[in-house]
Amino acid sequence: MTREASNLKGIPFSLFLVMTLQFAVGGAVLPFMSMWLEEKGLSFSEISLIFSVASTTFLVFPFLWGMIADRYLPIEWMFFFLNGMAGVSMWWMQSQTEYGGLMLSFVFFYSFYHPTFTLINALSFQYLTQPKEQFGAVRAWGSVGWILPSLVVFAWLLYHPNASLQFVLKVGMVSCLLTACSTLLLPRRVNPSPPDRSQASTAYWMALKTLFRQTDYLVLLAAFFLVSASFSFVVYYGPPYLRTSGIDQAWIGPIQCIGVILEIMLFPFLRNYLRRWGFATTLLMGCVCLFARHLVYYVSNNPWMLSLSYLLAGMVIVFFHIVASILVNMMAGKEVRATAQTLLVVFGSGVGPMLSNYLAGVLTQQTGNSLRPVFGLGMLLAFGACLLIVSRYRSLARYHVQNPGHSTRPT
């Protein structure tokens, strides 16, 4: 048996299924949301305000979901609830025509669905005996899930070239329903004995206090804030920029899949990159790729260059987002791992995009709805993340994977 096959042994098939379907929801909706809102007659400044307001929900909800998953409710049931409510939110969103209704319905969807991007990591770690070795292969199926609805949307738009993007919400609702049901297939994890509530509460707050005393963790949160703020421009403003550069909207989904396919190719070898380069170098590489991605969009409108730059976006996901999640799992005590992962969402997908989308709205309003200054701002944010990683490079380099199934952390 090969080492790769040995690493996957014992991982429940249902975990791969949940990972695939969870990302299928995002692949169906998020890449097309800006263009769908444009169809409703909104300008980029109005669209940016919707994204900014939605991001404010991450100041409360993700932390709440993570704490509940750590202390009260099995994380599998949390996923069932969040996906169910995300589906209800999209059902409500599809009937909205006024600006207020569009904003409120998207805010509801965002607050329920987006935290699952990080909570899925905490869920996966609980079923993996060797997270540093196994997580890359499991997460690759999330990238497969992201691709699948893009192919469905591509086929629909190819044969219905003048069709509304309303179709993507229907695909998203079906994906939410399938994801919620798939979580019921996960093996039940049985605790040897029920924990003492008072002792568990004390241990939780002690572990959280210890986590916040780690400078490396705080710097990683700040870098995640900057990278997520910058990457939100890739997700929300990349697709409409492709369309204004002359690319038919039917091809936008497949073009974004270029980066996702690279993710799938890189994930199985993630443990090798971490052993060879270490966490610090890998994180820094992710930041540099993000800077380069925005540079391409800032200086060019060539369709081929814009399309191929999605390879850089795929590298950002693997080398920064996923590696940061693995590193946080190493830094945090087992009592607060779901909370520590959720804090990445609070500072990353919450505060970061909240501020960056607000600034994007101001820039587009001042420059006649042009998106090029937005990508310039993305470059600056990515550069700031590079400086943060460099400032703690030696300390972060002490975290490394030694041999298969083993990892070390500073003591």
Query: Which is higher by pLDDT, 92 or 123?
Result: 92
Nearest to 4 by CA among 267, 323, 286: 267
Nearest to 177 by CA among 51, 84, 88: 84
Confidence of residue 157 (pLDDT cuts 50, 70, 90): confident
Site of tokens 């081929």: 304
In 267-302, which residue ranges form alpha helices assigned H by DSSP? 270-299
Mean confidence (pLDDT) of the chain: 82
Residue 373 burial by Cβ neighbours in a 10 Å radius (0-12, 13-18, 19+): middle
pLDDT tens by residue, 134-156: 777 788 888 888 888 888 888 88
Helix (H) or strand (E) segment spanning residue 401: strand 400-401
In 183-269, which residue ranges form alpha helices assigned H by DSSP? 197-212, 215-244, 252-266
DSSP string, 305-372: HHHHTHHHHHHHIIIIIIHHHHHHHHHS-GGGHHHHHHHHHIIIIIIHHHHHHHHHHHHHHHTTS-SH
pLDDT tens by residue, 218-273: 888 899 999 989 998 998 899 899 988 888 888 888 888 898 889 888 887 888 88
pLDDT tens by residue, 294-319: 999 999 989 999 999 999 999 999 99
Helix (H) or strand (E) segment spanning residue 407: strand 407-408
Nearest to 227 by CA among 348, 56, 374: 348
Contacts of 143 (CB under 8 A, 6+ apart): 23, 260, 261, 263, 264, 267, 317
Site of tokens 């029920």: 194
Confidence of residue 194 (pLDDT cuts 50, 70, 90): very low
Per-residue CA distances from 58 to 85, 115, 350 (Å): 16, 8, 4
Global pTM reads 0.77
Contact (Cβ atoms closer than 8 angstroms) between residue 290 and residue 231: yes
**For 271, left (φ over 0), alpha (ψ -120 to 50), or beta?**
alpha
Q: Which CATH number fits domain 13-186+200-403: 3.30.70.1450, 3.40.710.10, 3.40.630.30, 1.20.1250.20?
A: 1.20.1250.20
Helix (H) or strand (E) segment spanning residue 408: strand 407-408
In 72-130, which residue ranges form alpha helices assigned H by DSSP? 75-93, 99-113, 116-125
